[in-house]
Amino acid sequence: MTTTPTTPTTGTGARHLLLDPGMDLTLRPMRYPHFFDRFRDAIKNTWTVEEVDLHSDLADLARLSPAERHLVSRLVAFFATGDTIVANNLVLNLYQHVNSPEGRLYLSRQLFEEAVHVQFYLNLLDTYVPDEKERFEAFAAIENIPSIRRKAEFCFRWIDSVFELRELRTRQDRRAFLLNLICFAACIEGLFFYGAFAYVYFLRSRGLLNGLASGTNWVFRDESMHMAFAFDVVDTVRAEEPDLFDAELQQQVRDMLAEAVECEVQFAADLLEQGVSGMSLADMREYLQHVADRRLVTLGIAPLYGSRNPFGFMELQDVQELSNFFERRVSAYQVGVTGSVSFDDDF
Partner 1 sequence: MTVVQERPTSGPDGPEQRRQAMRVRKRNGDAEPVDVNKIVRAVERWVADLDEVDPLRVATRTVSGLYDGTTIAELDKLSIQTAAELIGEEPQYSKLAARLLAASVDREVRGQGVASFSQAIRYGHGLGLVGDDTAAFVDRHARRLDDAVDPAGDLRFEYFGLRTVADRYLLRHPDSRLVVETPQYWLLRVACGLSETPDEAVDLYRLMSSLAYLPSSPTLFNSGTRHTQMSSCFLVDSPRDELDSIYERYHQVARLSKFSGGIGISWSRVRGRGALIRGTNGRSNGIVPFLKTLDAGVAAVNQGGRRKGAACVYLEPWHPDVEEFLELRDNTGEDARRTHNLNLANWLPDEFMRRVEADGDWSLVDPSDAPELPDLYGEEFDAAYRVAEKKAVRTVRARDLYGRMMRTLAQTGNGWMTFKDAANRLSNQTGAPGNTIHLSNLCTEILEVNSDTETAVCNLGSINLGAHVTTDGVDWEKLRATVRTAVVFLDRVIDINYYPAAQAAASNPRWRPVGLGLMGLQDAFFTLRLPFDSAGARELSTRVQEEILLTALETSAGLAERFGPHPAYAETRAAAGHLHPDLWGAEPTQRERWTALRATIAAHGLRNSLLVAIAPTATIASIAGCYECIEPQVSNLFKRETMSGEFLQVNTYLVRELRARGLWTPQIRDRIKRAEGSVQGITELPADVRELFRTAWELPQRALIDLATARAPYVDQSQSLNLFMSAPTIGKLSSMYLYAWKSGLKTTYYLRSRPATRIQQATVAVTPTTGVDPVVADAEALACSLENPESCEACQ
Amino acid at 65: S
**Where do runs of H (alpha helix) occur along 18-170?**
33-44, 55-63, 66-89, 95-97, 101-128, 132-139, 141-144, 146-163
φ, ψ dihedrals at 15, nearest 5°: -70, 140
42 burial via Cβ count (<10 Å: 0-12, 13-18, 19+): buried
Q: Are 262 and 191 in contact (CB under 8 A)?
A: no
Give whichever of 137 and 259 is closer to partner 1, judged by the CB atom.
259
Q: Give min distance, CB of 96 to partner 1, in A.
A: 23
CA distance 297 to 128: 38
Of 72-80, 90-98, 121-129, 218-226: span binding partner 1 (CB under 8 A): 218-226
Q: Which of 10, 15, 22, 37 binds partner 1 (CB under 8 A)?
A: 37
The nearer residue to partner 1, 40 or 166, going by C-beta atoms, is: 40
Region 52-111 residues binding partner 1, contact defined as CB under 8 A? 53, 55-56
The yes or no reply on residue 205 touching partner 1 (CB under 8 A) is: yes
In 3-state terms, what secondary structure has residue 9? Answer: strand
| 133 contacts partner 1 (rule: CB under 8 A) | no
- Taking the least distance from each CB to partner 1, the nearer of 119 and 205 is 205
Binding to partner 1, residues 243-282 (CB under 8 A): 272, 275-282
Compute the least distance from the CB of residue 254 to partner 1, in Å.
Answer: 14
Q: Which stretch binds partner 1 (CB under 8 A): 16-24, 82-90, 150-158, 330-338?
A: 330-338
CA–CA distance, 315 with 312 (Å, rounded to integer): 6
Q: How far is the CB of 245 from partner 1 (least distance, A)?
A: 8
**340 lies in the site for partner 1, by CB under 8 A:** yes
d(Cα 175, Cα 180) in Å, to the nearest integer?
Answer: 9
Stretch that binds partner 1, among 31-39, 91-99, 141-149, 172-180 (CB under 8 A): 31-39
Q: For residues 16 and 245, what is the distance between their CA atoms, to the nearest angstrom?
A: 19
Catalytic residue among 32, 106, 121, 194: 121
Is the four-CA dihedral 251, 253, 256, 257 of positive or negative sign? negative
Q: Which is nearer to partner 1, 1 or 23 (CB)?
A: 1
Number of residues in contact with partner 1, rule: CB under 8 A?
110
**What φ, ψ does residue 9 adopt, rounded to 5°?**
-125, 160
Confirm whether 121 is a catalytic residue: yes
Residue number, 97 or 290, with CB nearest to partner 1: 290
130 or 306: CB nearest partner 1: 306
Stretch that binds partner 1, among 14-22, 50-58, 174-182, 250-258 (CB under 8 A): 50-58
The terminus-to-terminus CA distance of the chain in angstroms comes to 35
Pairwise CA distance, residues 143 & 149, whole Å = 6
Catalytic residues: 121
